[in-house]
Structure 1
Amino acid sequence: MNNYITFCGVVSIIGRSNVGKSTLINKLLGEKISITSCKSNTTRQCITGIYTEDQYQIIYLDTPGLNINNNKLPSNKNLQNLIKKIIKDVNLVILVIDGKHWTFDDELILNEISNITQHLIVVINKIDVIKNKIYLLPYIEFLSKKIRYLEIVPVSAKTGKNVNIILDIIKKQLPKNDHYYSKEHITTCSERFIASEIIREKLMRFFGEEIPYRSIVEIENFINKQNNYDINGVIIVRHNSQKKIIIGHKGNKIKIIGEQARLDMEKIFKTQVRLYLWVKVGSSVH
């Protein structure tokens, strides 16, 4: 008779844009599956990351930033429905906030999750940029008075400091359950989707505000040839001027984007990648 007990649960990572949710999930997984940049709205879809260690399996949901336009505030009902959708059927919720800035958006999000039934872990991120850590104490006290939580953990997702503490807390809260995925799985996202996201990340990191974050990346071909990948990607922008910016003088910029994206893909896919990129103007970009 097999007495080996396994634990498995779903953890939703929420917060406003640019607080480091994607960086945190990559550190928790020990693998890069979610793209990061200093630009708002980097994550546009819910990304699933799977962490398996011995008898534990954690399924992380990296969610798009909860952005609220202060000039056109959504109704409380709309915000409630959005958060309910994000945390539906999960076992734990991680709220990520910036260690230096408490914003109006943070306040609204906190108000809407104040009565959730799931265990809540509050992660104060970016403590690596706080020179005097004593300033964290009043911040933690401030949060303690505002919401019920399981733990408050100051971390640096960038350096990995204290991320292991979050992992230990989650393991203790996981329900007894069979693992949903084999240990080889690190995400439910397709390799084609990951390839498009990596290219989009390089665009945002390289060009910043020059290129709108809504620029589309489509993978036209994803071919496995003797365990090596041939990938054809098309970057779709709205204006011809944007196309020229991305291509650069004699193709120098698109060459850099392609090289950086290829190296990331080879790390993630663990195989040789031949990546070919084109840029075109399309009306589907808004």
Structure 2
Amino acid sequence: MNYHCGFVTIIGRPNVGKSTLLNRFIGQKLAITSHKPQTTRHSLLGIKTCPNGQILFIDTPGLHQRGKNALNRALNRIARGAIEHTDLVLFILEAGIWTQEDTLVLNTLAHLSNIPCIGVLNKVDQLQNRESLLPYLASIAQRRNWQALIPVSAQVGDQMEVLEQEILALLPLQAALFPEDQVSDRPQRFFAAELLREQLTRRYAKELPYQLAVEIENFQEQGNLYRISAVIWVERAAQKAIIIGHNGLALKATAKAARLEMERFFNCKVHLEVWVRLKSNWTHNEDLIASL
């Protein structure tokens, strides 16, 4: 057998392009993205089936040291938990930059020296001086024992095939674990919630991205029509007013944009109803966070 299959955990600090990398590999949008750090809140499995192997990518929230509430702690637990039983780690860095939060991620891997790790230097297309990449690579090479250091641009697709072949070579020899046409193990209602949260995060990036959560109350399939009912949870009445807007126009615009994204994703018509509800200090409520 010359078929490789295994789990690959994507880690890194917030906003280095982990979800963009996953979407590029899968060839479609699975993970929501925005320019705001910590957009990813869940561990997400993305399945890439190739002629000579199957790569099971696990996208994780960005490891970070800011914030003390229950939501921040939960995001860090999710990211760390995804590393424990993986076959390979992709440590995503922003090319040319090293921060204290990159050090935090590196320290998280310190006790897992038995798990192979590839350093992925993302966003090379944004480097103003490509010559600076060589000394940066040299400095990164000293920080741990890497299986490889590969500069890429997930946004435009540079070097992604090189990275894919490097990943496959490091995975165990075994048969595929999922059907070749499956791209994730998440249910459709999960993606509905994420697509609505993506629109909220993009529209309210400055005002309240971390005080928003989305819950799908109802998801019904009726032939080529999905009927979806969603609740947006906020912490304060002022936040609710911002999302609803004057005469409900802001909420209507957000819901329309989310509905169009859902129709593209599910490839069918979507009837979407959205409500905004108040739950004081929900980001400190571990039970509610676990249910979302």
Distance 1:124 1:280 in 2: 41
For residues 1-286 of structure 1, the aligned pairs below 5 Å read 5-69=2-66, 85-114=81-110, 116-283=113-280, 285-286=282-283
Size of the alignment, in residue pairs?
Answer: 275
Question: How far 1:46 moved relative to its partner?
Answer: 0.8
1:280 deviates by: 1.9
What secondary structure is seen at the aligned counterpart in 1 of 2:7? Answer: strand
1:259 is displaced (CA, Å) by: 2.1
TM-score, structure 2 normalization: 0.87
Structure 2 gap ranges (5+) = 69-75, 284-292
For residues 216 and 190 of structure 1, what CA distance do their matches in structure 2 show?
18
| Counterpart residue type for residue 156 of structure 1 | S
3-state SS of 1:213 partner: helix
Deviates more, 1:159-168 or 1:220-229: 159-168
Structure 1 counterpart of 2:206, one-letter code: E
Distance 2:157 2:209 in 1: 30
SS at match of 1:17: coil
Tell whether the 8 Å contact from 2:96 to 2:136 is kept in structure 1 after alignment.
no
The residue that corresponds to 1:74 in the other structure is: none
CA offsets per residue over residues 33-65 of structure 1, 9 Å max, x none?
Answer: 111112222111211111112241110111111
> Hey, what's the Cα distance between the residues in 2 that align with 1:223 and 1:195?
12
Over aligned residue pairs, what C-alpha RMSD do you find? 2.2
Q: Matches of 1:82 and 1:205 in 2, distance apart?
A: 23
Using a 3 Å threshold, how does the CA distance of structure 1 residues 260 and 100 change in structure 2: closer, same or farther? farther
Aligned-partner residue type, residue 196 of structure 1: A
Shift of 1:83: 7.1
The CA deviation at 1:5 is 4.9
Contact 1:215–1:285 under 8 Å retained in 2? no
The 1:118–1:256 alpha-carbon spacing in structure 2 relative to 1, beyond 3 Å, is: same
Identity %, equivalent residues: 38
> What CA distance in whole angstroms lies between the structure 1 residues aligned with 2:197 and 2:152?
27
Gaps of 5+ in 1: 72-78
Instruction: Give the TM-score of the pair, scaled to structure 1.
Output: 0.89
